[in-house]
Chain A
Amino acid sequence: MKIAITLKVNGKDYPLEVKPNEILLNVLRDRLGLMGTKYGCGIGECGACTVLLEGRAILSCQTLAFTADGKRITTIEGLEKNGSLDPLQQAFIDEGAVQCGYCTPGMILSAKALLDVKPDPTNEEIKQAIRGNLCRCTGYTNIVRAIRTASVAIKDQGRKTK
């Protein structure tokens, strides 16, 4: 059985035929060539496969592709706009929050989902927002710092454009 769906990824439409058992993570990576989203555990425990679905952080390894039909998906590749990094991406570099980098795409998207609804989070709120994202390298310290730095940068940006 195959189903015709359209995946809307990073503002672009991808019409596809998928089998019911195809996992969204694998479709993004192997069929759309968007390799930024990662496989870390396949069982919903590590967050490396995090993407935004209608702006909300979800796990693409726990999602069958056909259920994402017609919904707006953002992967890490969709954050950079016209060569400009999102403040989160810049902050991760600046605060030493990137070591091997494998968890980074998922981590940044979870942080983005947080800052989009809570622009001024406390340390605890940041840590709770990334509870579902594992990092084996950094010990999380610089990641929390980077998310805070980004929130300040976004606030400053907002102030400047007012």
Chain B
Amino acid sequence: MRDQKYRFLGKDFPRKEGRARVTGREIYPSDVVLPGMLYGKILRSPHPHARIKSIDFSDAEKLGAAVLGPDDTPKQPFNVRQVSVPRSTYKDWRILSDHVRQVGDPFAAVAAVTEELAEKAAEAVRVQWEILPAYFGIEQAMAAEDNLIHDKVYLQDREITIQNNIACTREVTEGDVEKGFAEADVIVENEFITPRVYHCQMEPRGCTCRPEPDGGITVWPSTQALHNTRILLGKLFDISLNKVNVIRLTGGGHFGSGIHTNPVILITVALALKAGKPVKILQSREEDLYDHCRYPTRYTLKIGAKKDGTLTAGEMKAWVDIGSHHVQALAFLGVLAGWWHSLYRLPSLRYQGVAVYTNKAPTCAMQGYGAPQVTFGVETTMSMLAERLDLDPIELRLKNYVGLGEIFWGQGPTVRSLIHSDGVRELLYTGAEKIGWDHRLDPAMREGRLRRGIGMARGFHTSGTGAPVPGEVKDFTTVQVKVNEDGSIDVLTALMDHGGGTLDAAAKLVAEEFGVPFDKVGISPADTRSTGYDVCTHATRGVYCGAGAVLDVARDTKRILLEYASRILNAPVDSLKTRLDETKNEGLIYVEGMPEKNITIREVAETAMNNDWGTAISARSVRKVNCPPAYTTFFVEVEVNMDTGMVRILRVVAGSDAGTVINPALAKGQLQGGFYRGAGMALLEDTDYDPKTGLLTNRGLLTDYKMLGAVDLPDPEAFEIFFAHTYEPTGPMGAKGIGEAALNPVPAAVAAAIHNATGIWFTKLPITPEDILRALGGRQGESSQSEPGSAESGEEPRPAVTQRG
């Protein structure tokens, strides 16, 4: 943080949405109610892979329900995610298809006047199925020659024939890898496996749609992407965008599951148009568990290093089980390479990624988008290298990390930019000191049945996906800022806030810029008819790109306001400054050097109105040309019960390099939340399928999708957070992002702590007590790799559930 006296940045203010949320008055997508609204229910496949021979809706219609089948929906293929440019977008979705590709795949929908009646109508629909062979593992899916999950898909508009259920592949090579490995004194190679985590955002996804008299639609979806949803709806339903209005609502959590336009949104719109009435569809939790999940990965990672710790070469081969459809598999394969390339300098690397279809829930982005997966392997490898080379693990990282002044790949090879701020040294040294890093014992010295261990990991995330040249991923935000006649300010943008305080940050920047009270900056309700395009809030772009765009446009508006003020004060525009007048609690414009020559913003706005000069208003789109890395480090202390394999988290020290910290309490909240979700990924979260039935072994219920709870996490006093003293020159008042960086290194840090306690390096997540006991049983006291993943799919084969525990 540069030495600035900020009035709002870096201080905690009651968040604008706070009161609504604590009183139950915030309106979430689940809460939308419209007159004459019907409740919808989606019919979903009970089979993992099948074709529909016939659907009989007659009994449902007798109950008075509106019905929707595959033939009632547009036939054109598309991709639900519109973030990538068209040439990189694979299209393998239909709104409703008679070829179902997973248990839970939507194939029809009904709507009725009550939710209960809709449920009954759904039960009354009769379907005849042709069962097809189903695939639940990568090897199994790739071995298939026919009965493929997809036969023909489209890349942009080019037809592609799918072979062996391979959705797409990606390769990246830099430098001479063979030469690099030849130069290495030490090579470490492992296979890493990361789980099929479920976002479990607290609000299952849903949507309400009202068909309008002019043939248009108004849509209240659960989404992160207002405009992408609008564009897709307009295209699929052939409605001119000026008649498609998608309304922004607070969502009950996203974590990446709303970047794409979820099927429930498309089905709701289709059903509303068919019924000619408003329709609301809310997914049950069971449906939501079959709707989306994180990308699981299985990858081999080979890194070579010289004796002095300099990395020389790297090779990664990744297999990704993407489930029933492409959401963003090609982009995901690219970012795996990108995160890897930008964690530590590799003079040469070779990367191969393969995405494979299976008959499971489609994978989509989840906080980190490949970075937690890759950071787990890379950080573990770096720690192994430090061990092998007898080097300090922190110094080894400092020697090799991609930092200040270097070009980094950001989100894959097409998003590259220069690093302008870097707090890594501070993060590592301060974190090490706070946890007592130098006093940690070697695992071989630990004894007793309760063993403590301290581990660390370093990670980062790009602040958005901006770059000097347009790449595969769209990234810009459109903003309008205007000064109201009483001197208050309206900010209009389609930017979304997932709960982390993105919009509050934008408001604070505007307040800071204008010198008006925080309370006087309002974030206007937004919808797609009144706002220009914003790609969506993802990729940790909310503050740096989104709020950054708001600040840029606020400055445009401020210029106009100052021009009005200059007329009144009879002083040149460039001599005018703004500040907050604490006594009047108003924004003040004054002449620099002559503070007695001043006028309130309110007076200027009133004067401009009364003299017909106009409103101080401006709007434009802003694209950032950088995506500065937001670095984080986590130092974690755990206690492992060597008899039960249970792991208790004792202490956490989280360090974040976010540049200027705008909302300290909420930024800390990101780190606390990121840790909790990352630790969950490290210790227990996963979703498995029964290969006999295609059903989730957790039956779609939270009874068996388990996450860490308050009791399982340390007390507030044991969670220490600090921020690096950095300032990002390209960022809004020095700010960078934090969101995904708050999770990325956590699984690696927890695994490292478990290693320090037990002497075992686990390369497969989650690390369950069963895994720990099994590893301890085989290798008591040794320090070695855990068992490699099974040959099948990297998932432990688990028999079907035969009884509830």
**Chain A positions near chain B (C-beta within 8 angstroms):** 21, 26, 29-30, 33-43, 45-46, 48, 75-77, 79-80, 85, 89-90, 92-96, 98-105, 108, 123, 126-128, 130-131, 133-145
Contacts and interface: CB of A to CB of B under 8 A. Distances in A.
B673 interface: yes
B790 interface: no
Nearest to B673: A139
B23 A80 contact: yes
Given A42-B284, A100-B252, A137-B202, 19 more contacts: A35-B30, A39-B204, A40-B202, A40-B285, A41-B701, A43-B285, A45-B702, A76-B22, A93-B18, A102-B203, A123-B715, A127-B715, A131-B709, A136-B253, A136-B673, A137-B498, A139-B673, A139-B674, A139-B677
B104 interface: no
Contact of A99 (B30, B500, B702): B500
A36 B292 CA distance: 26
Contact of B202 (A35, A48, A85): A48
B116 A21 contact: yes
Contact of B676 (A102, A130, A140): A140
B22 A93 contact: yes
Given A38-B203, A43-B703, A144-B716, A85 B668 contact: no
B399 interface: no
Contact of B703 (A45, A94, A98, A100): A45
B425 to A, nearest CB: 27
A79 B668 CA distance: 28
Contact of A46 (B26, B202, B711): B202
Contacts of B401: none
13 contacts: A38-B202, A41-B702, A85-B22, A92-B18, A98-B15, A99-B666, A105-B22, A123-B715, A131-B711, A136-B253, A138-B669, A139-B669, A139-B677
Contact of A142 (B33, B204, B672): B672
Interface string B354-368: 000000000000000
A85 B19 contact: yes
A79 B21 CA distance: 13
A137 B15 contact: no
Contact of B713 (A48, A76, A102, A141): A141
Contact of A128 (B204, B711, B713): B711
A136 B20 CA distance: 19
Interface in B675-731: 675-677, 701-703, 707, 709-711, 713, 715-717, 719
B281 to A, nearest CB: 13
A119 B331 CA distance: 52
Contact of B115 (A30, A46, A94, A104): A30
* Residue of B21, B250, B282, B677 most packed against chain A (CB within 10 A): B21
B14 A93 contact: yes
Contacts of B64: none
Interface in B19-36: 19-28, 30-31, 33
A105 B251 contact: no
A32 B409 CA distance: 53
Contacts of B97: none
Q: Closest 7 interchain pairs by CB?
A: A36-B24, A101-B21, A102-B252, A96-B665, A100-B499, A139-B676, A99-B499
B282 A39 contact: yes
A44 to B, nearest CB: 8
B200 interface: yes
B14 A139 contact: no
Given A48-B202, A136-B201, A141 B716 contact: yes
A98 B202 CA distance: 13
B499 A101 contact: yes
B203 A40 contact: yes
A3 to B, nearest CB: 16
B23 A36 contact: yes
Interface in B645-688: 665-666, 668-669, 672-677
B24 A34 contact: yes
B252 A139 contact: no
Contacts of A99: 498-501, 666, 669, 673
B110 to A, nearest CB: 18
B678 to A, nearest CB: 10
Contact of B709 (A41, A98, A140): A140
A105 B23 CA distance: 7
A104 to B, nearest CB: 5
Q: Which residue, of B15, B251, B703, B715, has the highest number of chain A Cβ atoms within 10 A?
A: B715
A100 B498 contact: yes
Contact of A134 (B666, B677, B709, B716): B709
A112 B673 CA distance: 23
A45 B705 CA distance: 10
Contacts of A136: 199-202, 253, 255, 673, 677, 707
